[in-house]
């Protein structure tokens, strides 16, 4: 009769190893998508090297690249950082040294949303029509 082919047990692929603890912790599907996206970008940025063969210097270089060369928003850079910290701590069992050399994205300047007293006075002085 037919012979059964034995398929050697292969360890799960890295991204499957990422998805499993995310799902066990009941993170949202958007968080899972975001983490997988940033981990893929990190791997491709690093010439497809496996993250276990890299560490804090490569993570620092990638996050700085996002800020300097890709001009990503600070929130996106923080997402990438969270994804990589999760990868190293929860999946690879490695704690990255503090990444204090990361070039941070600049947060946009937020103009005030309240007018000053002088601005209100100038605005009212320019208005025409019946008053009250």
The pLDDT tens digits for 79-111 are 999 999 999 999 999 988 777 777 777 777 777
> What are the tens digits of pLDDT across the range 32-73?
999 999 999 999 999 999 999 999 999 999 999 999 999 899
In CATH, what number does 14-107 get? Answer: 1.10.150.130
pTM of the model: 0.72
One-character DSSP codes across the chain: -PPPPPPPPPPPPHHHHHHHHHHHTT--HHHHHHHHHHHHHHHHHTTT--GGG--HHHHHHHHHHHHHTS---HHHHHHHHHHHHHIIIIIS--PPPP-TTPPPPPPPP---SS--HHHHHHHHHH--S---
């Amino acid at each position: 009769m037919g012979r059964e082919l034995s398929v050697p047990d292969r360890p799960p692929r890295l991204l499957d190893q990422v998805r499993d603890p995310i799902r066990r912790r009941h993170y949202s599907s958007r968080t899972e998508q975001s983490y997988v996206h940033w981990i893929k970008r990190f791997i491709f940025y690093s010439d497809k090297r496996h993250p276990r063969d890299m560490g804090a210097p490569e993570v620092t270089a990638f996050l700085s690249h996002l800020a300097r060369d890709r001009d990503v928003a600070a929130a996106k850079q923080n997402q990438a950082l969270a994804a990589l910290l999760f990868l190293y701590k929860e999946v690879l069992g490695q704690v990255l040294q503090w990444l204090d050399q990361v070039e941070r994205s600049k947060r946009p300047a937020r103009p005030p949303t309240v007018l000053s007293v002088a601005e209100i006075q100038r605005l009212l002085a320019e208005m025409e029509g019946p008053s009250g």
